[in-house]
Chain A
Amino acid sequence: MKKTIDDGRQTIDNRQRMVNRDNQWSIANGQSSASFVKAIGAIVWKDLRAEFRSWELISAMLVFSLLVILIFNFALELDVKTRQSVTAGVLWATFAFAGTLGLNRSMAIEKDRGCLDGLLLAPVDRSVIYFGKFFSNLAFMLIVEAIVLPVYSVLYNTNLFQPGLLLVILLGSVGYTSIGTLLATMSVQTRTRDILLPILLFPVVFAVLLAAVKASGGLLDNSTFADVSFSINLLITYDVIFIAASFMLFDAIVEE
């Protein structure tokens, strides 16, 4: 019995000596903050790389979004004034529903071939995975918004490119995606995932959407930045709370 143990150690020592001798590649210390950022970057890199090859996720979100803004405005035959007053609501409702499509797809890609396990097996803190997926999902959301906004502007002759409005859209998207990434990770583990995500997400994200619609609506109504600052502060608060909560809960959600 003793012999087997010795033999085992022997082989391992040999192997390590071999690796050390021609030390051409090596493993960096996995605990530093630089490797934390690098690993997050790696997740975002592979998500964008795969998406820019297949266009699965962004095209689904885009087609949906464009259809909604067309249907909404043509089907209801709104006059210019009414349309102006509902623009903020329409935009955010569109982003919210398109967002669930993207979130579901983004997490399904991880789940279906077991890749989520692959991520969880990496010797990094689990928050790396959360932040990686959060930034990828945020990127998809912002790309879709960057296409929908000019289309809406041209179709309905409204200028949506105001710095204040863009800030609100960024803040709203951050809040939506932060909690959306957490809940999509949860719902993707269930059988009814496509249906479950909106049911989980909308009640929670309602507050963000409300603040975002208020702020956007105000800015489109030519209110000053000071008028909507309360809504914007609220948005920032929600963003911080949602990111912090997701950061703390993610571990519990991904481990059985």
Chain B
Amino acid sequence: MISVKKLVKRFGLKTVLRGMDFEVKPGEFVALLGPNGAGKTTFLRILASLSRPSLGEVTIAGFKLPNEAAQVRARLGVVSHLPLLYGDLTAEENLRFYARMYGITKDQLRITEVLEMVGLEFRRRDLVRTYSRGMQQRLAIGRAVLHDPEIMLFDEPYTGLDQDACAMLDDVLKTVAAQGRTVVMTSHDLARAEELATRFDILSRGVIAASATRRQVKKSNLLEFYKQALAG
């Protein structure tokens, strides 16, 4: 589903990704772990075609970046720690706007479906500005699944959420994953990743330093595994 070969990303003289290889199979839920500044966000932005690779090959759902970026974007849903929503529009208006950008017809049905999924049907006519951080994040997920993407990218979706909001987000994420999507989620919070992911990849010094499936890493061992990978 996602295939990355020898990916290099430089910002000026600074090299963030150094020949990174990364593969994801359909239906996998990969947690991309790593300390702050490891390049997780940078990597997801490249997958999302928001940022260009300096070197290397990226293929997503059979389409090559950057030349076939529009086809890739049509199959991709992205949630970052920013909501990507307009505060002066209602939830419904935000979704209607994005539905038009994605060329969704009969959008009213789909918008209702999505609002119900993220549990915001009852606030659909309220301005997003008045939403709590957790509600905004849920709507952001609704925005990302609007066009029913095969692949979802989550960049630290739990940032800035309280306990209740985290629990609700857990449910939404599980729903999203259960719908058969391929998911890549970055996190520096091991416990959250442990709950959801089927595979754990650790990004360190610009490459995937270690990778293990859920079965290979028993619950108590994720922290140990993570530390070992970073120690390298």
Name A residues whose Cβ lies closer than 8 Å to a Cβ of B: 4-5, 7-12, 14-15, 19, 24-31, 35, 38-39, 41-43, 45-46, 49-51, 53-54, 109, 113-115, 117-125, 255-256
CB-CB under 8 A from A255, the residues of chain B are 49-52
A39 CA to B82 CA in the complex, in Å?
23
A15 and B180 contacting across the interface, CB-CB below 8 Å: yes
Shortest CB-to-CB span from A160 to chain B, Å, is 32
A123 and B82 contacting across the interface, CB-CB below 8 Å: no
- Which 6 residue pairs across A and B have the least CB separation, nearest first? A8-B27, A114-B82, A11-B180, A42-B100, A118-B84, A123-B74
CB-CB under 8 A from B85, the residues of chain A are 113, 115, 118
A14 and B180 contacting across the interface, CB-CB below 8 Å: yes
B106 and A25 contacting across the interface, CB-CB below 8 Å: yes
Question: Does B190 reach chain A (CB closer than 8 Å)?
Answer: no
Q: Which of B45, B48, B179 contacts A15 (CB 8 A)?
A: B179
A103 CA to B9 CA in the complex, in Å?
31
CB-CB under 8 A from A4, the residues of chain B are 25, 27-28
Question: Does B55 reach chain A (CB closer than 8 Å)?
Answer: no
Q: Which of B45, B51, B150 contacts A12 (CB 8 A)?
A: B150
A121 and B93 contacting across the interface, CB-CB below 8 Å: no
A39 CA to B88 CA in the complex, in Å?
19
A136 CA to B78 CA in the complex, in Å?
26
A113 and B182 contacting across the interface, CB-CB below 8 Å: no
Shortest CB-to-CB span from B136 to chain A, Å, is 9
B107 and A25 contacting across the interface, CB-CB below 8 Å: yes
CB-CB under 8 A from A12, the residues of chain B are 26-27, 150, 180-181
A121 CA to B110 CA in the complex, in Å?
19
* Interchain residue pairs with CB less than 8 A apart (8): A12-B150, A24-B110, A27-B74, A27-B105, A115-B85, A122-B73, A122-B98, A256-B52
Q: Which of B45, B50, B84, B148 contacts A113 (CB 8 A)?
A: B84
B109 and A25 contacting across the interface, CB-CB below 8 Å: yes
A5 with B51: in contact, given A12-B150, A113-B85, A123-B102 (CB under 8 Å)? Answer: no
A122 CA to B52 CA in the complex, in Å?
16
A118 CA to B51 CA in the complex, in Å?
13
A119 CA to B85 CA in the complex, in Å?
10
Q: Which of A14, A24, A28, A121 contacts B103 (CB 8 A)?
A: A28
A119 CA to B48 CA in the complex, in Å?
12
Q: Which of A8, A15, A113, A123 contacts B86 (CB 8 A)?
A: A113
Question: Does B187 reach chain A (CB closer than 8 Å)?
Answer: no
Shortest CB-to-CB span from B232 to chain A, Å, is 26
A45 CA to B25 CA in the complex, in Å?
39
Shortest CB-to-CB span from A66 to chain B, Å, is 24
B86 and A11 contacting across the interface, CB-CB below 8 Å: no
Shortest CB-to-CB span from A132 to chain B, Å, is 9
CB-CB under 8 A from B165, the residues of chain A are none
B26 and A121 contacting across the interface, CB-CB below 8 Å: no
A26 with B106: in contact, given A19-B148, A115-B85, A255-B50 (CB under 8 Å)? Answer: yes
Among residues of B, the one whose C-beta sits closest to the C-beta of A34 is B103
CB-CB under 8 A from A10, the residues of chain B are 27
8 Å CB interface, B82-104 against A: 82-89, 93, 97-98, 100-104
A256 and B50 contacting across the interface, CB-CB below 8 Å: yes
B147 and A5 contacting across the interface, CB-CB below 8 Å: no
Question: Does B71 reach chain A (CB closer than 8 Å)?
Answer: yes
CB-CB under 8 A from B101, the residues of chain A are 39, 42-43, 119, 122, 124
Question: Does B76 reach chain A (CB closer than 8 Å)?
Answer: yes
B27 and A123 contacting across the interface, CB-CB below 8 Å: no
A27 CA to B98 CA in the complex, in Å?
12
CB-CB under 8 A from A256, the residues of chain B are 11, 45, 50-52
A114 and B71 contacting across the interface, CB-CB below 8 Å: no
Question: Does B223 reach chain A (CB closer than 8 Å)?
Answer: no
Shortest CB-to-CB span from B97 to chain A, Å, is 4
